[in-house]
Amino acid sequence: MEKLGQCFSSFCGLLAQYSNGMDVCSSVRLFPIGFMIIGGAVMIIAIFGCCGAMKQNRVCLMIYFFVLLVIFLSQAAVAVLAFAFAPQALAFGQTAWNDFPGNNTQHLMQLFGCCGFQNATRDEVTFCDSNGIDRSLSCLTKVQNLILGQIVIVGAIGGGVVFLELIGIIGSCVVCRRQKKVGGM
């Protein structure tokens, strides 16, 4: 997990380099504030769902349904875009690696115990040999293995969230339908 954090820190530095002097890394401290805002929004959405179910208020239930539907569809769109733009991400990674100053790439190669992005250049081979790093392992392969090791956890959490959203969507529809039949609306 420490390597993933250091990889994120390096990526953050790379973004700072391409963002016209804007210090992206300092905005990392805003993540907790963002999570609190998202948590507050989720609580408001949950209150709409609970109030709608308890009071049998169709307006609250429909708001809850549509907000959950929008969140669900946006998650699906992000997943599709992630798969669709995976090759462009690899090309961006190669460009960023080439544009990275030499000391930073050497630090990453030492950190991950790898040599070169996809394969090692002459300078990278010299650095790897002098530091005892296996030059047959590319940094792309090492980072992919690191991400694949964590993807199960991320996938399980994402699957759980999607499952709960679907339960909320279906539940709100069932309660609205039942209320419509009972109330004669």
The pTM (predicted TM-score) of the whole model is 0.58
pLDDT(14) > 70: no
Mean pLDDT of the chain: 74
| DSSP string of the chain, one letter each residue | -HHHHHHHHHHHHHHHHHTTT--SGGGGGGHHHHHHHHHHHHHHHHHHHHHHHHHT-HHHHHHHHHHHHHHHHHHHHHHHHHHHTHHHHHHHHHHHHHHS-HHHHHHHHHHHT--SSSS--HHHHHHHHHHT--TTS-HHHHHHHHHHHHHHHHHHHHHHHHHHHHHHHHHHHHHHHHHHHHHT-
Instruction: Report the percentage of the chain scoring pLDDT > 90.
Output: 0
pLDDT(44) > 80: yes
- pLDDT category of residue 29 using cuts at 50, 70 and 90: low
- What mean pLDDT is predicted for residues 109-122? 74
At 24 the pLDDT is: 47
Residue-range domain boundaries for the chain: 32-183
pLDDT(175) > 70: yes
- The larger pLDDT score, comparing residue 65 to residue 29, is at 65
Measuring CA to CA, how many Å separate 14 from each of 10, 73, 142? 6, 31, 19
At 41 the pLDDT is: 85
- pLDDT category of residue 17 using cuts at 50, 70 and 90: low
- pLDDT digits 0-9 by tens, 160-174: 888 888 888 888 888
- The larger pLDDT score, comparing residue 131 to residue 101, is at 131
Out of 4-8, 18-22, 96-100, least confident range? 18-22
CA atoms of 2 and 158, how far apart (whole Å):
22
- What mean pLDDT is predicted for residues 106-127? 74
